[in-house]
Structure 1
């Protein structure tokens, strides 16, 4: 399994395409906002001849959903998120105005809802859902044990963690998520966060600022 990161939109969010050698792929947190960003994503999909099965959101803060409408409409894809994220999605247009994203096209509501420990299978591509609230009420991460990788959204960053001052944020809940759901993964697991560089579970267990709380 491979992960291609696309850092886009004015908030510089790390969207990704997760794919395998057979060409099965999913789009996670599409960060594309401008036309050139959309073309970059589509160019990669076409170059790799990928069969994209779905759009997945770790959560529905505005920077993680700017490309939802584009891909669901252009490629006719289903859209997966946790049901609790309907709360977050409900204020996406107000967030777009606040951040000056005048060209934001509203995301559709999910066609499918994610559940904790659910195993998603798209062709030969397999990802496990880990429910991880705290940054938002319905946040999830996507984990592949076989490939030792985690698409973690805004739960855990290199040396930091997701903010909790937005609606639905809760520091104690986020700490519980990190210590009980994320830090229990193998140390060699590579973490692809929603912002900033990749890291590993082992490195963050040794050095992350969350340890001081």
Structure 2
């Protein structure tokens, strides 16, 4: 499996495209610039088969409808945020002056629990990692030694918890219980900024020291 990072939108949210040899791919958090993303996929001759959302904040969902409609593919989101896509007060778009309030159509598949999911040739574990938002999840690809952590864990930092449903203690617990327990060489693909590895965050992330 290959992965690509495309920073999109006004705050450069990382959209990830995971692809297999047959050209099928998963799109994680298509935050904005749907035309740009669509053109990139066509240029790379990739065929999306699903959109996965780590959570439903506006900067992670802005291109969802465009890409979903372009390729006729399902969107996966945790059930705790099932109403957020169409609610600007919950997805945060009404508070961001650079964009219009955002309303996205409902998810096609709701994630209800931690489980092993298979979509096409892709198999991965859903990890519930709330704290940044109530329905935040991470996607762990054990065979490829990588986890997509959304806005839970960053290189040298963690997600903010001052938005709707945020909980700082819960976020720290999620990181320690679900992410730092992964193999230390696991690659972390975050919602913003560069990639990191679990070992580095265990040893040097200042927000996690002392726990």
Question: TM-score over 0.5 for the alignment?
Answer: yes
CA root-mean-square deviation = 1.8
Q: How many residues align?
A: 209
User: Is 1:73 aligned to residue 72 of structure 2?
Assistant: no
1:24–1:104 CA distance, 2 compared to 1 (3 A): farther
Tell me how far 1:90 sits from its aligned partner.
5.0
**Alignment-derived partner of residue 136 in structure 2:** 139
Structure 1 segments (4+ residues) deviating >4 Å? none
In structure 2, how many angstroms separate the alpha carbons of the residues matched to 1:170 and 1:66?
24
Cα 1:186–1:207, aligned 2, differ >3 Å: closer, same or farther?
same
Q: Is the deviation greater in 188-197 or in 44-53?
A: 44-53
Q: Which among 143, 162, 167 is matched to residue 165 of structure 1?
A: 162
CA distance in 1, matches of 2:162, 2:89: 18
Structure 1 counterpart of 2:190: 193
Show the counterpart of 1:91: 87
Cα deviation code 1:86-144 (max 9, x no counterpart): 25435336732321344565211111111333222222122211111000001001110
Q: Summarize the alignment of residues 106-185 of structure 1 with structure 2, pairs less than 5 Å apart.
A: 106-185=103-182
Residue aligning to 2:207: 210
- SS of alignment partner, residue 163 of structure 1: coil
Structure 2: state its 5+ residue gaps: none
* CA displacement at 1:18 relative to structure 2: 1.1
Matched residue, 1:20: 20
The answer for unaligned runs of 5 or more in structure 1 is none
The worse-fitting range, judged by mean Cα deviation, of 179-188 and 88-97 is: 88-97
